[in-house]
Amino acid sequence: MTATTQTHHQEAISPARRLVMNRVGLWMFIISETFLFSGILVSRFYLWGGTRPHLNQLLGMSVTLILVTSSFFANRAEVAIKYGDRKVFLRSILMTILLGLLFLVGVVGMEWPSAPVKPTMDGEFNVYGAVLFFMTGMHAFHVLTGVVLLAIVARLGARGHFHAEHFWGVEAAVIYWHFVDVVWVFFYPALYLMGTAVGPGH
């Protein structure tokens, strides 16, 4: 940006203050999203109560471990770029993306076709199928957006866009990734562990 396009208004906000404003804004957005996922969780308890469908426990445990591990690498990427270590940053963020994609394969590619919640003759899903697909689907959609954001950040990072003084893009994507991860920490027990399993099993 040249000095001529720089205006009075932009000079008024220092980079340090801009960072604070960005952080407040992002956290406001995350508070909002928290209400969305709380609503989904409440709906699960309202509709399923103390029951749950028979799901593949090994698959559930595996995707959970994969996602939690991905958060570790996301954090490593953020710390690395704040210390200016681009190599570790890039490796960690690619690892995060890989694990995120693995999670999506596990949930959408494996759990969805195998879950014992088939549609009826009229193509209707009962309440178990509806809630299962809705919860995992809404979450998977957010994981997908997180992967897209991380991919954008990785591509920019590979071109040297981020460094120790310029890391907001990384931080934002990583905080969002942690948030999506924490949502799953609540969704996993609600889907796989709590209540008695009913209906056909594996």
**CB 126 to other proteins: min, Å:** 5
Q: Which residues contact 157 (CB under 8 A, 6 or more apart)?
A: 81, 86, 89, 90, 93, 170
Residue 164's alpha-carbon distances to 19, 23, 54, 160, in angstroms, are: 14, 17, 48, 11
Residue 122 touches other proteins, criterion: CB under 8 A: yes
Return the number of the residue (77 or 153) whose C-beta is nearest other proteins.
153
Query: Nearer to other proteins by C-beta: 114 or 126?
Result: 126
One of 21, 61, 105, 185 touching other proteins (CB under 8 A): 21
Query: Which amino acid type is present at position 103?
Result: F
Phi, psi of 163 (to 5 degrees): -155, -175
Residue 78: how many other CB atoms lie within 10 Å:
21
Q: Measured from the CB atom, is 12 or 58 closer to other proteins?
A: 12
127 binds other proteins (CB under 8 A): yes
Q: Identify residues 158-197 at the interface with other proteins (CB under 8 A).
A: 159, 161
Position among 3, 15, 16, 32 found at the interface with other proteins (CB under 8 A): 32
Give CA–CA dist 168/81, Å, rounded: 10
Instruction: Give the C-alpha separation, 189 to 195, whole Å.
Output: 9
165's CB contacts (< 8 A; 6+ apart) are: none
CA-based R_g, the chain, Å: 20
CA atoms of 144 and 103, how far apart (whole Å) = 10
Q: How far is the CB of 139 from other proteins (least distance, A)?
A: 14
Taking CB under 8 A as the binding criterion, the range among 19-27, 91-99, 174-182, 185-193 that sits at the site for other proteins is 19-27
By CB under 8 A, name the one of 7, 113, 165, 200 that touches other proteins: 7
Interface with other proteins, residue 119, by CB under 8 A = yes
Q: Return the number of the residue (41 or 68) whose C-beta is nearest other proteins.
A: 41
Rule CB under 8 A: which residues touch other proteins?
1, 5-10, 12, 17, 20-21, 24-25, 28-29, 31-33, 35-36, 39-40, 43, 46-47, 119-120, 122-131, 133-134, 152, 156, 159, 161
